[in-house]
Amino acid sequence: MLNNKSVLVTGGTGSFGKKFVEIVLQRYKPARLIVFSRDELKQYEMQSEYPEEKGSPIRYFIGDVRDRERLYRAFDEVDVVVHAAALKQVPAAEYNPLEVIKTNILGAANIIDAAVDRNVSKVVALSTDKACNPINIYGATKLCSDKLFTAARTYSGSHKTQFVVVRYGNVINSRGSVIPRFLELRETGKIPVTHEKMTRFVCTLERSVNFVIDSIIEGSSGSIYVPKLPSVNILDLAKSLAPDCEIEIVGIRPGEKLHETLISREDADRAVEFDESYVIQPYFLMHIDDKQIHERGRKCEEGFEYRSDTNNRMLSIGEICDYLGSEKVMG
């Protein structure tokens, strides 16, 4: 699917983007692999590992998803777009809501317009568990983004651009996640935990990239793809990372939930279960492929929810250590 194709990743200098570039270069031979981001310093640093040189498919493109005209230029002759750019820090988003709206919602609309008008074959947009029944501005903007992308297949008309959304939980060791913070603070001998009952879905960086690549290849336009993930109790996570530290309960931050949800009850009637994932189908089934998803999978029961606290795969402290060790983040 990606051999001899032009692939562009927005937010390409972020944690996901760098891992995506690494895995794509290992497994495929793209004609072009374009790193699109607004941070020139991170692009400069990334070029030391993946130089833009003769024979290399790597290209670096400075730009912001808020800039519609820049996207039109960047998407010229691009086959596949992976949209990973977002403002996602929950506390910062609560205090700067309009900025988050400009990037996460208006930026998504710009991605859709540019992809359709430049005849991009497929767009895969990254979502988050916070988009499901959101209580913070980040989650609300990502829900709007999801709605835009799932509706965009009817918007693309004769251009036939396909739009897929991938929704997963917290990525281990990504920038801004709790794990690097815990590792940093354990030198102080005290770890702050927001609530002793708080739970989260967790996903390794490699699993997130592999799932996105699978969705590029197999994803049905207008659907939301959700991987089956383990959950962790945040208190257990802190104990596994810093077993000798004192735990301080500091209270839930503005905009945080006690537990997260990847599939709500309201979406259950459109959700289909597979061995390693779920698919939330569009409200309106338009194509044969849409109907075949129901036939290939198992329709979720009425009232089903996929929540971090009721997940049937809750990791123990020992299992958390093994899981984090596989990602080489234990220190």
**Quick one: pLDDT at residue 79?**
98
In Å, how far are 35, 68, 71, 154, 253 from 47, measured between CA atoms?
Answer: 10, 25, 21, 38, 37
Dump pLDDT digits (tens) for 93-102: 999 999 999 9
Dump pLDDT digits (tens) for 169-205: 988 877 767 888 888 888 899 999 999 999 999 999 9
Percentage above 90 pLDDT, the chain: 76
CATH of the domain at 99: 3.40.50.720
Report how many domains make up the chain: 1
Average pLDDT, rounded, for the chain: 92
Q: What are phi and psi of 326, to 5 degrees?
A: -65, -25
User: Is 220 part of any domain?
Assistant: yes
**Quick one: pLDDT at residue 10?**
98
* pLDDT-wise least confident of 23-32, 37-46, 158-167, 285-294: 285-294
**Quick one: pLDDT at residue 186?**
85
**Quick one: pLDDT at residue 291?**
64
User: Is 330 part of any domain?
Assistant: no
User: Is 331 part of any domain?
Assistant: no
Tokens 């990606």 identify what position? 2
Active-site pick, 18, 19, 122, 130: 130
* pLDDT-wise least confident of 74-88, 226-240, 246-260: 246-260
Position 330 pLDDT exceeds 60: no
User: Is 219 part of any domain?
Assistant: yes
CB 192 within 8 A of CB 248: yes
User: Is 242 part of any domain?
Assistant: no
Is 44 buried (19+), middle (13-18) or exposed (0-12) by CB count in 10 A?
exposed
Per the annotation, the verdict on 19 as an active-site residue is no
**Quick one: pLDDT at residue 285?**
66
Percentage above 70 pLDDT, the chain: 95
